[in-house]
Structure 1
């Protein structure tokens, strides 16, 4: 029974790839709203599978099966490749070279970030550097602020790509940390806004757009406080020197 539960968790984790594949199919036919909804489904699966894995004690029950490796494979597709493809198709009116450059920046920074050791802080409550969450960056660009000029979009993409390699601490919402209750509330509000902004696409709702921008600002403030406060999580030694 324990092995069944452990395998069930791994299958649940792997189902995130199925959701992402459905998103890929939706992008290929130009249904960006459905594609984003599938991306959100994959995000929710990724957000809860770790808790289920700990409950089922998968590392003890199935020591030769690496849930982390399964997770990395799925995450790179759903958090980097699929969002880059969505970005490429959604901004079809952008100059080809500029659009391709943005996609390349997303993919290269994500690939290099996954190769760096110490992606998680010493206390396990923070990502070190902006995590590979191009799904949410692309969501904001496509569904919340689609009117941004191409140069602003390029600068935003390059900024997030650069932040992958900076010793900035970004909170891992499900693992506690500073202002945890408020962070969980902001996360729920952000996801609710994501669903509603996708629902109202292509005309963003002023209210839900505001919720998205306010919660995004909160994450930025929290990252700044955690990074520069002496009480914040410690960046692992050597991480700041990584390229």
Structure 2
């Protein structure tokens, strides 16, 4: 029974790839709203599978099956490849800058995944901007679709570069400075994502403001943590998912 529960958790984790594939099909069909729904589904699966894994003690029951490796494979598809494809298909840019932006997302994500540890030594921060291209593309397509081309390209380049800078980005589930506010900002951001996707293709003024405020909060928190972080910028172990 324990092995069945452990295998069920791995299958649940792997189902995130199925959600990602459905998102890929939606992008191909021009259904960008549907694609974002599937990206959000994959995000939920990635957010709760670790809890299920601990409950089922998968590392003890199935020591020869690496849930972390399964997670990395799925995460790279749903956090990098699929968002890059959605960006390429949905954003109103000329061909060359659109292609180069997609390349920047993929190359920076691939190299970031190869780093020896992606979180700080205290376990509460990502070091460098984590591979969250799904959220960046969500903002560019569903929240700020009217940005000028130079701003869109500039944001993509900036986030790609930030993968490799010693900036501390909060790991919300692990506590840290202003943790209550961080959880509230996370809930607000996810709620705004649901509502902005629902109202697409016309962004909701209210939920656009909620998204922007939550994003600014994360930027301020990153700046404060980086300036006052001290030795926590040393890379530690890799997280179970990004």
User: TM-score, with normalisation over the residues of structure 2?
Assistant: 0.94
Moved more, 4-13 or 35-44: 4-13
Residue 82 of structure 1 corresponds to: 82
Residue 50 of structure 1 corresponds to: 50
Query: How far did 1:217 drift?
Result: 0.7
Distance 1:205 1:102 in 2: 26
* CA separation of 1:100 and 1:237: change in aligned 2, threshold 3 A: closer
Distance 1:33 1:25 in 2: 12
Runs of at least 5 residues in structure 2 that lack an aligned partner in the other structure: 238-242
Query: How far did 1:25 drift?
Result: 0.5
Query: How far did 1:238 drift?
Result: 9.9
Residue 178 of structure 1 corresponds to: 177
Query: How far did 1:132 drift?
Result: 0.4
Return structure 1 stretches of 4+ with deviation > 4 angstroms: none
Counterpart among 231, 234, 237 of residue 232 in structure 2? 234
Asked whether the 8 Å contact 1:123–1:233 carries over to 2, the reply is no
Partner SS state of residue 94, structure 1: coil
Residue 219 of structure 2 corresponds to: 220
* CA separation of 1:128 and 1:206: change in aligned 2, threshold 3 A: same
Moved more, 210-219 or 59-68: 59-68
Asked whether the 8 Å contact 1:14–1:71 carries over to 2, the reply is yes
Query: How far did 1:233 drift?
Result: 6.9
Query: How far did 1:164 drift?
Result: 0.3
Residue 2 of structure 1 corresponds to: 2
Distance 1:175 1:66 in 2: 22
Distance 1:21 1:193 in 2: 24
* 2:210 paired with 1:189: no
Residue 27 of structure 1 corresponds to: 27
Query: How far did 1:173 drift?
Result: 1.2
Residue 97 of structure 2 corresponds to: 98
* CA separation of 1:211 and 1:117: change in aligned 2, threshold 3 A: same
Residue 38 of structure 1 corresponds to: 38
Partner SS state of residue 130, structure 1: coil
* CA separation of 1:172 and 1:237: change in aligned 2, threshold 3 A: closer
Query: How far did 1:125 drift?
Result: 1.7
Partner SS state of residue 127, structure 1: strand
Q: Which structure would you say has the larger RCO, counting Cα contacts within 8 Å and 6 or more residues apart?
A: 2
Runs of at least 5 residues in structure 1 that lack an aligned partner in the other structure: none
RMSD of aligned C-alpha atoms? 1.5
Query: How far did 1:22 drift?
Result: 0.5
Query: How far did 1:72 drift?
Result: 0.5
Residue 240 of structure 2 corresponds to: none
Query: How far did 1:180 drift?
Result: 1.6
